[in-house]
Amino acid sequence: MDVTRILSKTADELKETDIADSALETLVESQIKQIYLIGRRGPIQEKFTPIEIGELADCEPVFNHQCDLELDEISRMELADDTNRQARHNLDVLLRFVQRQLRGYSEQRSAKTKRYHLRFLTSPQELKGNGKVERIVLERNRLVGEPFRNWPEGTGQFEELPCGAVFRSIGYRGVPIPGVPFGERNGVFPNKDGRILNGETIVPGLYAVGWIKRGPSG
């Protein structure tokens, strides 16, 4: 999110930040006009505040795949949770972007030179090009698992997107410890309320907390 936000801002906007002068000089010369934020899971699982990209001086948020905001059962259950107020706020912001897009850009917005494309439930699978990145292969995902403990699974539906630069930020994954049960699929220690499980049996004296208990977030 930080990388795409910087690429989306004008030099005047960036001058108000603590960005290094050398980086600012390079960004002033940038020819990037189309920016894609690719998220492996859905809009309810996002960990950023989308209002940040709705108030950019020279960049407009765009949804090419409005089906990304159609919620599956896992996402609807997460959204209904009383403690998940941020997700409800984020979804409202994204839906306003879509409505703004459907109404057509105002004269001021259509004059913006950059477009910020948000894509959810999509994973990069392959980079293609002749000596440099020219295209990226994306796969459509679906969510599997339980509310708040889910992961993306590929559907076998692929597309290619023209691409000149890629920045990767795919989070963290737990690693096993010899002698301790480990969930290869989601990279956590299987547990019940923090007590580590071997199958359905609690392992005496072993506990998990934080990201290795529930998976990385934030």
Q: From the first residue on, what is the mean pLDDT of each consecutive set of 10 residues in the chain (218 residues)?
A: 89 90 91 93 86 84 80 95 91 87 60 90 95 96 92 95 89 89 91 95 96 83
For the chain, helix (H) and strand (E) counts, in that order, are 7, 9
Q: Specify the residue for token string 């879509």.
A: 98
> What single letter denotes the amino acid at residue 198?
N
Q: Which two tokens stand for residue 129?
A: 């090009």
Sign of the four-CA dihedral 17, 22, 24, 25? positive
- Residue 114 pairs in a beta bridge with 59
pLDDT at 107: 47
d(CA 182, CA 120) in angstroms, rounded, equals 28
Q: What are the sequence ranges of the domains in the chain?
A: 2-162, 172-218
Query: Which residue in 177, 185, 184 sits closest to 203, CA to CA?
Result: 177
- Percent of the chain at pLDDT exceeding 90: 63
d(CA 105, CA 112) in angstroms, rounded, equals 10
Q: Which two tokens stand for residue 96?
A: 């306003």
- Residue 189 pairs in a beta bridge with none
pLDDT at 218: 60
pLDDT at 147: 93
What is the b/e burial string over 47-57, where b = at least 16 CB atoms within 10 angstroms of the residue's CB? Answer: eeebeebbebe
Residue 213 phi/psi, 5-degree rounding, is -90, -45
Are 141 and 154 a contacting pair, CB within 8 Å? yes
Are 180 and 206 a contacting pair, CB within 8 Å? yes
Question: Which DSSP string do the residues of 119-171 spell out, in sequence order?
Answer: E-SEEEEEEE-SSS--EEEEEEEEEEEETTEEEEEEEEEEEEEE-S-------
pLDDT at 158: 97
The CATH class of 2-162 is: alpha beta
Summarised one tens digit per residue, pLDDT across range 145-196 is 999 988 899 999 999 999 999 998 777 889 999 999 999 888 999 999 999 9
Q: Rounded to two decimals, what is the model's pTM? A: 0.76
d(CA 61, CA 94) in angstroms, rounded, equals 9
